[in-house]
Amino acid sequence: MPVPEAIRVEGLRQFSRNLRRMDKNLPKALRLAGNAAADIVVAEAKPRVPTGPGIGGHAKSSIKAASTRTQARISAGGKKYPYYPWLDFGGAVGRNRSVRRPFLKSGRYIWKAYDDRQGDVARTLSNELDRVARSAGIEVS
């Protein structure tokens, strides 16, 4: 499966700048709009990640929405779960790279969940951006 195409919103940076000119707190709502869209993927991906053997050693708990004003993102892994990329994408790890998992560029969990729910993500992002515009007093058609 190829990596799904990212959703691009033309004029989002300019929209953010204009919101900032109106009120310095308005662009913060753009990050929340991105998180709302990313949370759909997070909710879809978490149940797909296998649960580890140790207590609290569950990489699925590291999957979180981490958006900025201009990008909706999902982060996973980190210092506590450095093995997450291997779980999702595969490769060779361990002593002498002896533990292998087939490499999948499109991943097993996050990108697959995004591919399955891409329409819902786009719809939610659009609705949330409309809501931000309305809250700023901008007419949306």
State which H helix or E strand residue 64 sits in.
strand 64-65
pTM of the entire predicted model: 0.86
Q: At 66, is the secondary structure helix, strand, or coil?
A: coil
Residue 69 CA to residue 100 CA, distance in Å, equals 38
Q: What's the pLDDT score for residue 122?
A: 94
Q: What's the pLDDT score for residue 54?
A: 65
Q: What's the pLDDT score for residue 46?
A: 93
Sequence spans of domains, the chain: 12-135
Collect all residues with Cβ–Cβ distance below 8 Å to 109 and sequence separation of at least 6.
45, 48, 49, 63, 76, 87, 88
Mean pLDDT per 10-residue interval, the chain, length 141 residues: 80 88 88 95 93 72 91 91 91 90 93 94 94 85 69
Residue 131 CA to residue 64 CA, distance in Å, equals 23
Structure tokens at 17: 């700048």
Q: What's the pLDDT score for residue 53?
A: 63
